[in-house]
A and B are shown apart, each in its own frame.
Chain A
Amino acid sequence: MRVMVLVKATEDSEAGVMPTTELFEAMGRFNEELVKAGIMLTGDGLKPSSQGKRVAFDGPGRTVIDGPFAETRELVAGFWVWEVKDMDEAVEWVKRCPNPMFGPSEIEIRPFYEMADFGDVVTPEIAERDKQLRAKTSGL
């Protein structure tokens, strides 16, 4: 199964405080373990929300909001995408991660939807629409 592993923001990360050399090295070693275990698909760090933007939707309305955003602990500072056997395995790998922040911090694991999860949601109507889309995109 594929999971997204979200490194949550802290006051420090939101302030753009750079990690120490030691933390960089420890993270490098951890990433290397992930690669060698064959579970790492991708991952990266994100700049503070002060450099981000949000687009708010309300019916037909679209409002652009500039960062920074409140609720620091709900923001995302970095992510990985892993391919693991199950959530238990993902949890064990996250436990091995060095604390990515100076103070207390959190890492959240969220499984991706997979084909099987949709089950009956893909009705014949959706399948038909898909077929039409396919015909359109391939110019048939």
Chain B
Amino acid sequence: MTATSIEPHRAIEAIFRIERARLIARLARMVRDVGLAEELAQDAFVTALSEWPKAGVPANPGAWLTAAAKRRAIDRLRRDRMLARKHAEIGRDLSEEDEAGIAAIEAAMDDDVGDELLGLIFTACHPVLSPDARVALTLRLIGGLTTDEIARAYLVSEATVAQRIVRAKRVLGKAGLSFEVPRESDRRDRLSSVLEVVYLIFNEGYSATAGGDLTRPALCAEAQRLGRILAGLAPDEPEVFGLLALMEIQASRLAARLDPNGMPIPLTEQNRARWDRLLIHRGLAALERAEALGGAHGPYALQAALAACHARANRAEETDWRRISGLYDALRAVMPSPVVDLNRAVAHSMAFGPEAGLALLDEIDRDADLRNYAPLPAARGDFLFRAGRSAEAKVQFERAAALSRNDRERAFLLRRASACSGPGETM
């Protein structure tokens, strides 16, 4: 046991990571420009890196960084005013205006209403931005990921991500936003945009749409953290808790959903001892909270309730498929989508037999949207297989494999296809 101190730069970096999002949020409200706010925060961090190793880490590092950034902002304002004055060649004294500007900055910084971080989240997820831009900006500003980390997570080039973020900041700058948390009528639409971004990030991590890895757990963890932050900042929003519940319960299966070769294991065949009980417990608590807030029929709360049905079953045979079918019927009403219909068909096949599932799939088949969607023939193959129609099942699994964009999923589907021909073989 030896008393050590972490290498000072690493400690300062860790402190900065803790403070960064809130610092940017405070600065953005002050200077009304996320790009500038991020620069000012970075400047304050550089100042800390040079001063803290000499003077020691201040007792309240957050306040110190804020004060340092505020000084930089005021310096910048003075310099900009000076330049403007020179350019205009105006002789008159602008100091009064300067002082008014500085006073406004001081007021904005001191007026810590506590929701500045929430305001920044709403801004980063603003509907004027494309979903890709919202995701990148949220990961950068709130999650603190570097452009390189975002690029690696999304398998795109760093230049693409950097470009996306620069463009997003420009769009936000032109939109002349207030950086406040939206109120009343606006709030619902804006909140659903925020939740959509968080769930997009989670899903990209949970079921990677391309590449060799089936999951990128870092993105799941980041989305869960964002969800937990939102729950802490907006404790009265039922759908925030619905989404959080959904993510916690889905993430509880991360360690159980792939076999050692990286092949996906269907939910009903997963080793439930490997499900993360702590996350399930947190997910069920969040779902209860969503329901207590009157949000049982929100789209995220319904999806969380579905996930909870599986989480509550200690053995696959204990799964309450009738309840799941009922929840899908309800979800279909608030969130109509061919993918929901497909899952509903799977649920009905489990509750009422493969023929019931096949009948519902026939309805979906009329919808052209899912023509190239691998899970559709995969589900049909599964129903046919369970109905004892192996030859037809094999054709469907092969079709699904040809449509799949994920290497490992494709291998899994091909294995199921070949299992259809061998007599007496089971999965």
Contacts and interface: CB of A to CB of B under 8 A. Distances in A.
B14 A89 contact: yes
A10 B18 CA distance: 30
A60 to B, nearest CB: 25
Contacts of A83: 221, 224-225
Given A36-B232, A38-B232, A86 B14 contact: yes
Contacts of A18: none
A138 B14 contact: no
A137 B18 contact: no
Contact of A137 (B14, B226, B255, B271): B271
Interface stretch (B5-13, B30-38, B322-330, B415-423): B5-13
Most buried by B among A81, A89, A122: A89
Contact of B229 (A32, A37, A127, A138): A37
Given A38-B232, A138-B315, A85 B17 contact: yes
Interface in A48-77: none
B181 interface: no
Contact of A39 (B225, B265, B272, B281): B225
Contacts of B270: 134
A92 interface: yes
A122 B259 CA distance: 11
Most buried by B among A39, A85, A93, A139: A85
Interface residues of A, number: 30
A92 B278 contact: no
A88 B10 contact: yes
Contacts of B259: 127, 131
B100 interface: no
A50 to B, nearest CB: 26
B316 interface: yes
Contacts of B317: 138-139
A12 to B, nearest CB: 22
B181 to A, nearest CB: 14
A110 to B, nearest CB: 14
Nearest to B5: A91
Contacts of B316: 138-139
Given A36-B232, A41-B282, A92-B15, A138 B268 contact: yes
A125 B316 CA distance: 24
B251 to A, nearest CB: 10
B315 A139 contact: yes
Interface string B225-264: 1111101110000000000000000000001000110000
Contacts of A92: 11, 14-15, 18
B272 A137 contact: yes
Contact of B228 (A38, A86, A122, A140): A38
B269 interface: yes
Given A88-B6, A88-B14, A137-B272, A81 B278 contact: yes
B278 A137 contact: no
Most buried by A among B13, B117, B232: B232
Interface string B344-356: 0000000000000
27 contacts: A32-B232, A35-B232, A36-B117, A36-B233, A38-B229, A39-B225, A41-B278, A41-B282, A42-B281, A83-B221, A83-B224, A88-B10, A88-B13, A88-B14, A89-B17, A92-B11, A92-B15, A115-B255, A122-B260, A124-B260, A127-B259, A127-B260, A133-B273, A134-B270, A137-B273, A138-B268, A140-B269
Given A35-B231, A115-B255, 15 more contacts: A35-B228, A36-B233, A37-B232, A38-B228, A40-B228, A41-B282, A83-B221, A91-B14, A122-B260, A124-B260, A133-B273, A134-B271, A137-B273, A138-B315, A140-B269
Interface of A: 32, 35-42, 81, 83, 85-86, 88-89, 91-93, 115, 122, 124, 127, 130-131, 133-134, 137-140
The list of the 6 closest CB pairs from A to B, nearest first, reads A38-B228, A88-B14, A38-B229, A36-B232, A38-B225, A127-B260
